[in-house]
A = this chain, B = another copy of it.
C-alpha cells in the first residue's frame, strides 16, 4: 500500500503567501512606511516602467480590474501616484508616480529585496528553478 502524504501545492501556496503578506506588512510598519504588501507590488511595477494603464497592471498581476481601481485609490490617497487620462485614448488612465512616489523607491526596494532574498536563502538554485518552473506552468494553465 502506497501512502501519499504530500501536502497539496495549492495549500502550501496559500500558507506561504499569507505568511509573506503578514511579514511584509509588519516589516513596513516597523520602518514607518504606510504601505501594504499589495501596494508595494503595484509600485514595483511602476518603478520599473511608469505610466502603465490600470488594465495592464491587472493583466500583469492576474487580478480583476476592480481590484486595481481600489489599490490605485489607496495609493492616490497617500499621494504616491496620479491618474492621468490618456490623450490618445481617453478610456485609458495612465498611472504616474508623484515625487513622493518616486522617492519611496529608495526606501522600499532595498528593504523588500533584502527580506525576499533572505526568505529563500535556504533553498538550492536547482530547487528554486524547479519551483519557478512549476508555478509558471500553473499560471499559464490557469490563465
With A8-B116, A134-B120 known as contacts, the answer to whether A13 contacts B19 (CB < 8 A) is: no
Question: Chain A contact residues (Cβ within 8 angstroms of B): what range?
Answer: 35 or more
Q: Specify how many copies of this chain sit in the oligomer.
A: 2
Nearest opposing residue in chain B for A128, CB measure: B134
Also in contact, A132 and B9, with CB within 8 A (given A16-B138, A17-B14, A119-B141)? yes
Contacts of A23 in B (CB 8 A): 142
Answer whether residue A91 sits at the interface, using C-beta atoms and an 8 A cutoff. no
Chain A 7-44 interface residues, beta-carbon cutoff 8 Å to B = 7-20, 22-23, 41
Bound CA span A129–B122, Å:
15
Chain B residues, CB < 8 A from A139: 12, 15-16, 19
In the complex, A78 has a CB within 8 A of chain B: no
* Residue in B16, B123, B137 whose CB lies within 8 Å of A13: B16
Chain B residues near A103 (CB-CB < 8 A): none
Q: A131 within 8 Å of B by Cβ?
A: yes
Given contacts A122-B141, A127-B134, 11 further A-B contacts (CB under 8 A): A6-B132, A12-B135, A13-B13, A15-B62, A17-B17, A123-B133, A123-B137, A127-B131, A130-B131, A130-B134, A131-B135
Q: List 26 A-B contacts (CB under 8 A).
A: A6-B128, A6-B129, A9-B116, A9-B120, A9-B131, A9-B135, A10-B20, A10-B116, A12-B135, A13-B13, A14-B41, A15-B61, A15-B62, A16-B138, A17-B17, A18-B63, A19-B62, A19-B142, A22-B142, A119-B141, A122-B141, A123-B137, A127-B130, A127-B133, A128-B134, A130-B130
